[in-house]
Amino acid sequence: MIPDGIGGWLRRRARTSADHPAIVFRGEGTSYRELADRVDRIADALAARGIRAGDRVAYLGNNHPSFVELLFASALLGAIFVPLNTRLAVRELAYMLGQSGSRLLVNTSPLEPEAAAAAAELGIPRIVVVENHPDDPVTIDAAVERFDALLAGAPDARARPEVVLDDPAMIIYTSGTTGRPKGAVLTHGNLTWNALNVLADYDVVSTDRALMVSPLFHVASLGMGCLPVLAKGATLLLEERFVPGDALRTIERERATSISGVPTTFQLMVEAPEWATADLSSLRLMTCGGSPVPARVREAYEARGLHFSGGYGMTESAPGVTMLPPQHSVSRAGSAGLAHFFTRFRIRGTEGVPARPGDPGEIEVRGPNVFAGYWDDDASTRDAFTDDGWLRTGDIGSVDEAGFLSISDRVKDMIISGGENIYSSEVELAIAAIPGVTGVAVIGVPHERWGEVPHAVVTLAAGATLDPEELVAQLSTRLARYKTPRTLEIVDELPRTASGKVQKHVLRERYRLYSQET
């Protein structure tokens, strides 16, 4: 019997689209029948190794078919998939493995050093996907099990547990506002309803060929791109990493019909030498999230007859909340769009009363795609919801008479750099631990390429010194590289309120026109 959860999607698709390509990777296609068969065998092999319903199975690697296979195999078993950000430091990876209680880590061979170090701290067994990629030569311990051996040695089919939509399917870690990431638990139902939102609002069809260049460990890439494509029976053109020229060549060669990314993705494609001659005539949909598309980038694509569909979302909503239809990309430039088909949002003004159209307030969300809560964190889960069950986003926005949402501020003090979410408090805690630092504030400052990047403002003890290179070196083992400020200013004192809280709005205004180009 095919289960109700997402683990049953591929087998259902194999019944109606058996020979249709599900994934194309490095020029080789895998049909829905082949993918469903592989997932079944991987699930059986994992079960033979003791993975049961509720167990957590982690994955660390660049885009690769094994990501999709392990996700669906885990779902078939009722296990919980834990995708890990490949850009994190070993200490961050180890924390997530430990906090989630992961029983197994699967990693691709280019990430072998980081995976080995993180898993060793906790004694977690590993399985490695050996890519044999010429650009990523690595040494792999002979004692570590290989993914291809796992697949080849799969036992006979075993009975599957019953999996329902309310069961947890995935834990995706969000950057922590208090210095520690939180694991958002997304159920099979959350992922299913989010996929239905995408199918309803973006007109995905089975003949689509969706180019995926953004990392699948990001909830936007997974929830808005990969899963809806596979649910519909379309084809996922999977690139292991984003290289602008390669992406343009793939669009032309594979006749891609859609591509998703962050503003930096599309900017780098415009700046690539291949842009001028690339044939983009097959594209009909471009979705962009993370932050608004700069006008000059938007205009470059419009000159080629292409329009963006933007939107707003968050990990806790799997992730879609709103979408901006392409036909409004010019007239509503800067807007986050309308609520997704099965999702609602409201604006809560001062004193908890609903805001009038045009008035700012906190954005709150409700719908079947909204998450179940944070893993092993009841307090944060309670804080995430209003008394009547709406998700508090922590973002400030307003809605007009036609229902279009505009985002005006981030209550959670988040920096979005090249599509990556960075919470300043996490960076501040790491900097505060450096000897000689007496005070620190981290804010986002404008950057031509990445949208914004973190900038540190620091006070030091008498006689202490700190320069940008030393800062990077001090933080290299504590934070991912993209979170580390490359610039800092040493000041005599930080602007503070009477209670001692740093006035970040003062700093933001001070550095509002400060721009980094490198």
Q: What are phi and psi of 198, to 5 degrees?
A: -65, -45
| CATH 3.30.300.30 domain locations along the chain | 414-510
Q: Which residues of 339-374 are buried (b: 16+ CB within 10 A; e: fewer)?
A: bbeebebbbbeeeeeebeeeebbbbbbbbbbbbbbb
Give the model confidence (pLDDT) of 333-391 as tens digits: 889 999 999 999 999 987 778 899 999 889 999 999 999 899 999 999 999 999 999 99
The pLDDT value given to residue 82 = 98
Kindly report the average pLDDT of the chain as a whole number: 91
Residue 446: both structure tokens together: 């404008």
Q: How far apart are CA 285 and CA 308, in angstroms?
A: 7
The rounded distance, in Å, linking the Cα atoms of 418 and 436 is 31
Tokens describing residue 293:
């598309």
Alpha-carbon gap, residue 13 to 233, rounded angstroms = 6
**What CATH number has the domain spanning 9-163?**
3.40.50.980
pLDDT of res. 322: 97
**What is the arithmetic mean of pLDDT over 221-241?**
97
Secondary structure of 169-204 in the HEC alphabet?
Answer: EEEEEECCCCCCCEEEEEEHHHHHHHHHHHHHHHCC
CA dihedral 101, 106, 107, 109 (to 10 degrees): 140
Give the pLDDT confidence score for residue 283 in this predicted structure. 97
Angle at which helix 112-122 crosses helix 90-100, to 10 degrees, equals: 50
Shortest CA distance to 51 belongs to which of 70, 72, 74? 74
Over residues 263-290, the mean pLDDT reads 93
Question: What residues does CATH 2.30.38.10 cover in the chain?
Answer: 310-410
Question: At the top level of CATH, which class does the domain 414-510 belong to?
Answer: alpha beta
Q: Looking at 87-101, 118-132, 408-422, which range is the least confident one?
A: 408-422
For residue 150, pLDDT over 50 is answered with yes
Distance of alpha carbon 106 from the chain centroid: 18
**Is residue 172 within 8 Å of 89, Cβ to Cβ?**
no
Residues of the chain with CATH 3.40.50.980: 9-163
Per-residue pLDDT reduced to its tens digit, 408-438: 766 667 788 888 878 787 888 889 889 889 8
d(CA 184, CA 351): 28
CATH fold label, 310-410: Luciferase; domain 3 (2.30.38)
Determine if residue 187 is left, alpha or beta; phi over 0 gives left, psi from -120 to 50 gives alpha, anything else beta. Answer: beta
Alpha carbons 299 and 223: distance in angstroms, whole number: 27
Sequence-distant (≥ 6) Cβ neighbours of residue 149 within 8 angstroms: none
Bridge pairing between strands 126-129 and 104-108: parallel
Query: Which positions ≥6 away from 518 have C-beta within 8 Å?
Result: none
What percent of the chain shows pLDDT beyond 90?
67
CA dist 515 and 518 (Å) reads: 10
